Structure 1
Amino acid sequence: MIPSLFTLGNLFFGFLAIIWTMNGNYQVASGLIILSVLMDSMDGKVARKLSVSTDFGRELDSLCDVVSFGVAPAILTYKVLLEGHMGFWGVLLAAAFALCGAVRLARFNVLNITTHFVGVPITFAGGLMALLVLFYQSLPWIVYPIALALLAFLMVSSFKVPKLGK
């Protein structure tokens, strides 16, 4: 149960990020997604430390991750930069990011590979987008659709990414 509290903390912060995005508090929303990254990194570590990894915990983690690192960063990036510059194409790009994240998580759950990830993990992709949004006033707007598209592609790619911190 303890690791699941961290997992639900991940979802809670992702949900709050969406709310803060809707209210125009983009810096706070970015910070909340970054807090979700912290919660996500803790749930797995705690589960391994306590030897309580379960199929339920893995499924819950993926459901929470799709919100916190797929939907929340996509909406945030859309509202901050894509809406004004790309309109409907920005909607499609943000949706593609979230959809690719969901596909990536589903593939992760069925492959059960312990030595590496196949494709860039959604936690990294969503966390990076949140971090980039923190600097949206300093970077050219074109960076964001390129980063969103590239990360969406990398999530569903067959690139092997080493697992760190195990």
Structure 2
Amino acid sequence: MPSFPNKSLANAVTLCNIVFGSLSLVYTLDQQFGLAAIFILIAAVLDGLDGRIARRLDIMSPLGKELDSLCDMVSFGVAPALLIYAQVLINYTYSLGLITALLYIVCGAYRLARFNVLDISGYFLGIPITLAGTFLALLALFAAYLPAHLILALLLLMAIMMVSNIKIPKL
């Protein structure tokens, strides 16, 4: 029986990340916001695993790094922004909800591109998109108990923090 190639294992876990991010989008469109948030949280667990697997098996590669960023853009950029928009901000005055959700997506894309071209090993520059997206998924689980203005402000804060120059130590 052939064994699963080690080099494919981390990438397979990464691709599972985008599957759950995509499922979050589908469930958001179906207005099942709780499940959509849970799928983002599952994607976050998978995102943490793929890097650990790659480091443990010493199979890190430029392809894996790029694949991870593309998957993260869906799971922690587009999915949480659409979730928060559809759940809370869709009827926000003057389209501020839509503008803020789009700004979050743009900042997430910029953050990932910046991460991929900088060779920084000891810290993150700005908060990682995985952290921002996970925070928004948790926020979505409690959105019914929070004012829309606060959720809008937190979405904007996450966008700004991703592109900030704040140094966050890698654990």
TM-score (norm 2): 0.94
Matched, 1:97 2:104: yes
Q: How does 1:8-157 map to 2 (within 5 A)?
A: 8-86=15-93, 88-157=95-164
Bigger Rg, which one: 2
Root-mean-square deviation over aligned CA pairs: 0.8
Cα distance, 1:161 vs. partner? 0.6
Cα distance, 1:85 vs. partner? 2.7
Question: Aligned letter for 2:119?
Answer: N
Cα distance, 1:158 vs. partner? 0.5
Instruction: Report the Cα distance in structure 1 between the residues aligned to 2:73 and 2:135, rounded to whole angstroms.
Output: 15
TM-score (norm 1): 0.97
Cα distance, 1:103 vs. partner? 0.2
Cα distance, 1:146 vs. partner? 0.5
SS in 2 for 1:45: helix
- 5+ long unaligned stretches in structure 2: 1-7
Cα distance, 1:87 vs. partner? 5.5
Cα distance, 1:157 vs. partner? 0.5
- 5+ long unaligned stretches in structure 1: none
Instruction: Report the Cα distance in structure 2 between the residues aligned to 1:23 and 1:157, rounded to whole angstroms.
Output: 34
Instruction: Report the Cα distance in structure 2 between the residues aligned to 1:87 and 1:51, rounded to whole angstroms.
Output: 50
Aligned residues: percent identity?
A: 44
Instruction: Report the Cα distance in structure 1 between the residues aligned to 2:15 and 2:94, rounded to whole angstroms.
Output: 33
Return structure 1 stretches of 4+ with deviation > 3 angstroms. Answer: none
